Amino acid sequence: MKRFAGCRVLVTGVADGIGQATAAAFLAEGARVLGCDLQPLAADPGYEVLPLDVAAADAPGRLAQRVAEALGGLDVLVNNAGICPVAPLAETTDEDWDRVQEVNLRAVFRLCRALYPLLCASAAGRVVNIASVSARFANAGMGAYTASKHGVAGLSKSLAAEWGADGITVNYVLPGAIVTGITRELRDADPAFREFWENKSPLGRWGQPEDVARGILFLASRDADFVTGHGLAIDGGAMAVS
């Protein structure tokens, strides 16, 4: 029996990186998956993907409706879609600031709220939000992102406090430097950036999207029945050492 057989899962941002690896891992373990993304997928992933912007006004309603129609309910919500523009705060416009908060934080809140009734009806509702090590510390040039990820941590703990009575757990992960669409270009172009994060981890390497997917699946599994409001660092130990 596969670990997620019969489990109904929604993952946002599945065209690349952590979301792609997470949806594939759920699928491989027997889950029924629905995904969404702004950009088209390079290849057929073997599950339905809705083309949409998670920050759009109608996105939560559309997703909730499609989840109910296609999956007949929801057991696991993974809020993964995110953006990370790099700019000093003094040069960040209101529009740039708002877009980061809308995609990385507001959409997470709105999706959780829209899918709450379906999660309540599940025997073991699970929410896993993707934060970042930027929910714990700051790097220059990532102010809007860092604020949004601190917000994801606070939102996840607040939801955990409110939804425990419904049997829903809400956790978040804090990935370190992971090789994905967000980081690939800069990592290839800038050896100092690549080496900084390589050296920051005692394991001496960058993470792969599958490293993060395995942590997300743990938090979504019955092994994590008594884990809620928790932030799981998946950073190769980067935050544990100075």
Question: Interface residues with ligand NAD (CB under 6 A)?
Answer: 12-13, 15-19, 36-39, 53-55, 80-84, 103, 130, 132, 175, 177-178, 180-183
Residue whose CB is less far from ligand NAD, 122 or 143 = 143
CB of 204 to ligand NAD, least distance (A): 16
Cα angle 154-85-147, degrees, rounded to a multiple of 5: 20
d(CA 124, CA 204): 37
Q: Which is nearer to ligand NAD, 73 or 181 (CB)?
A: 181
**Residues with catalytic function:** 145
Q: How far is the CB of 126 from ligand NAD (least distance, A)?
A: 17
CB of 121 to ligand NAD, least distance (A): 25
- Sign of the CA dihedral with 107 first, then 161, 220, and 214 last: positive
3-state secondary structure the chain: CCCCCCCEEEEECCCCHHHHHHHHHHHHCCCEEEEEECCCCCCCCCCEEEECCCCCCCHHHHHHHHHHHHHCCCCEEEECCCCCCCECHHHCCHHHHHHHHHHHHHHHHHHHHHHHHHHHHCCCCEEEEECCHHHCCCCCCEHHHHHHHHHHHHHHHHHHHHHHHHCCEEEEEEECCECCCCCHHHHHHCHHHHHHHHHHCCCCCCECHHHHHHHHHHHHCHHHCCCCCCEEEECCCCCCCC
| Shortest Å, Cβ 1 to ligand NAD | 30
Contact 163, 124 (CB under 8 A): no
Nearer Cβ to ligand NAD, position 22 or 122? 22
Question: Smaller CB distance to ligand NAD: residue 35 or 125?
Answer: 35
Closer residue to ligand NAD in complex, CB, 63/160: 63
- Least Å distance, CB 110 to ligand NAD, is 12
